[in-house]
Chains A and B, each alone.
Chain A
C-alpha cells in the first residue's frame, strides 16, 4: 500500500504541477486569476476527443490540435475580456467565470451533457515495484515533467522567458526597459492555454470527459497556488506534490469522494496560519 501511495501520488502530482503552473503564470504576469482556465482544461479534453475518437485522427496530431485550441482560447480570452477589464481584477475574474459557463453550455450543445469515456493515450499496464499503473498515466506524468522542465528552461534561459519574468516582477520597470507588457501577457495567456489544454487531455484520460469536469481541477489549481505561493513556479511544484500526495492518501485510505475535502481544509489552514509567507506580501 505504501508503494502504491508513493507511486500514484508522484504520478498525480506531476499532472497537478502542470495544472497549477499553467494557472499561476497568468497571475504572475497580469495579477489576475483566470477562471476560464477551467474552460481551457475542458476544451483540451473535448478537442482531443473530437479529433482522436470522433474524427479518428492519429493521436499525436490530435494532441497537438488540442493544445493549439488551448492556445487559441487563451489568447482570445486575453484579447477580448482581459483587455476590456484590465484595471479591475474582480471584473476579469467574473467575466472569465461567465465565459467558462458559456463554454460549458457550448460543449453540452455539441457533445451532449452525457459523460464520454476517452481511450488511453497509451494502452497497457506497467508494474512498478509491484504496483500496477496504467501506461497512460505514466506517459502523462513523463510529458508533464518534460513540459515543466522545458518551461523552466524557457523562462530562465531565453530572452522571451526573461522578459516574462521581468514583467512579473515589475511591470513598470519592464516597460521602461522596452518590453511591451501586453505582448508578454499575450504570450503568457497562450502558453497557459496550452498547459491547461494538455492537462485537460490527461485528466480526461484519467477519469472521463463531462461538461462539468473543469470545476474540480480549477479549484485544485487554485489550491496549489495558494499553498505554494502565488506566481512562483517552484512553489507551485512543491505544493502540487503536497496536494497530490494528500489526495492519493485520502483516496487509498479513506474514500475517493473525500479527496477534495482535505484539499479544501488545507487551503483554509494555510490561509489562516501563514497567509503572509504564501502571498509574498505583507498582510496583517
Chain B
C-alpha cells in the first residue's frame, strides 16, 4: 500500500505554546486512522495544518507523494482532501441543499456561471447522511446540533475527497445518529475513501479505525491498534492526568 498522506516532523507554535511538536505519521490508501488525545492535545491544529488553514513553522506534508506545503486550502481540496469542523461552520444564509452544493463547485468561474446545480447528486448526499426531505430545505439556524454535524459531513462528502478529516463528527449526536453516520462511513470506506477520525467517543471510534495515533501536548505518545493503545500506560496517564 502506498501512503496517501504523510506528515513529517510537523511543528506549530502559538507564541510560547507548542501545539504540535515534531509530529510524524502516515495514512495509506484505503486505511482509516484514529487520532485521539485529551483536550488541547493538538488534534484540530493538525487538521488545520493539513488543510493549510494554519501554516506550519516547520515540517513537511506529502499527499500522494507530492509535497503540498505550498498549496493553498482550496487547491488541497481539489487534490482530494476535505475536512469537517469540530464546531460546525455551515453557510448561515443557505439551505442544507445549497450548503451541500458548495462542496461540489467547479473550479472554473465560467462553469460556475453557465452550468446549473446537480440537484440529484445534492439530494442523494443529503439522504445518505440522513436528512429528511423536509430538512434539506431548512436553514442551518433551524437545525439541531446533530443535523449540523451531518451537514458538515455532507458538504465534505460532496467534494468527493480521497482523504477525509473528521473532527468530532459524533459529538452531540444520538445513538441512532451515530449508528447511521458509522454505517455511512463504512460504506464510503468500501468505496475507497480514506479518513482520519478525531473523536472523544472512543466506543464509536473503535470499530471504524484500523489504527490509532495518540497525541498529548502536541506529540505522539502511542501508536497501534485500538486495543494496543488503550492498554498503553502512557495513554492512560495522559487521559487521567488531564
Direct contact of A and B (CB under 8 A): yes
Cβ of A284 under 8 Å from chain B: yes
A284 touches B52 (CB 8 A): yes
Top 6 A-B pairs ranked by shortest CB distance?
A284-B55, A282-B54, A284-B54, A284-B52, A282-B14, A284-B53
Closest Cβ–Cβ distance, residue A19 to chain B (whole Å): 30
**Residues of A183-234 contacting chain B, CB below 8 A:** none
Cα A284 to Cα B53 with chains together (Å): 7
List the B side residues contacting A284 at CB < 8 Å: 52-55
Cα A284 to Cα B54 with chains together (Å): 7
Interface size class of A (residues with CB under 8 A): under 10
- Number of B positions contacting A (CB below 8 A): 5
Closest Cβ–Cβ distance, residue A276 to chain B (whole Å): 10
Of the A-B pairs whose beta carbons lie under 8 Å apart in the complex, a sample of 5, sorted by A's number, is A282-B54, A284-B52, A284-B53, A284-B54, A284-B55
Closest Cβ–Cβ distance, residue A227 to chain B (whole Å): 21
Main secondary structure of the interface of B (DSSP, over half): loop
* Cβ-closest chain A residue relative to B53: A284
**Residues of A152-179 contacting chain B, CB below 8 A:** none
* Cβ-closest chain B residue relative to A276: B55
* Cβ-closest chain B residue relative to A280: B15
List the B side residues contacting A282 at CB < 8 Å: 14, 54
List the A side residues contacting B52 at CB < 8 Å: 284
List the A side residues contacting B54 at CB < 8 Å: 282, 284
* Cβ-closest chain A residue relative to B12: A282
* Cβ-closest chain A residue relative to B52: A284
Cα A284 to Cα B52 with chains together (Å): 9
Cα A14 to Cα B14 with chains together (Å): 34
Cα A117 to Cα B52 with chains together (Å): 56
Cα A282 to Cα B15 with chains together (Å): 10
* Cβ-closest chain A residue relative to B72: A284
In the complex, per-residue mask of A270-284: 1 if CB is within 8 Å of any chain B CB, else 0: 000000000000101
* Cβ-closest chain A residue relative to B48: A282
* Cβ-closest chain A residue relative to B55: A284
**Residues of A66-112 contacting chain B, CB below 8 A:** none
Cα A282 to Cα B53 with chains together (Å): 10
**Residues of B34-58 contacting chain A, CB below 8 A:** 52-55
Cα A237 to Cα B54 with chains together (Å): 31
Cα A231 to Cα B53 with chains together (Å): 25
List the A side residues contacting B55 at CB < 8 Å: 284
Cα A282 to Cα B17 with chains together (Å): 13
In the complex, per-residue mask of A242-284: 1 if CB is within 8 Å of any chain B CB, else 0: 0000000000000000000000000000000000000000101
Closest Cβ–Cβ distance, residue B74 to chain A (whole Å): 12
Cα A270 to Cα B53 with chains together (Å): 22
Cα A161 to Cα B36 with chains together (Å): 42
Closest Cβ–Cβ distance, residue B143 to chain A (whole Å): 19
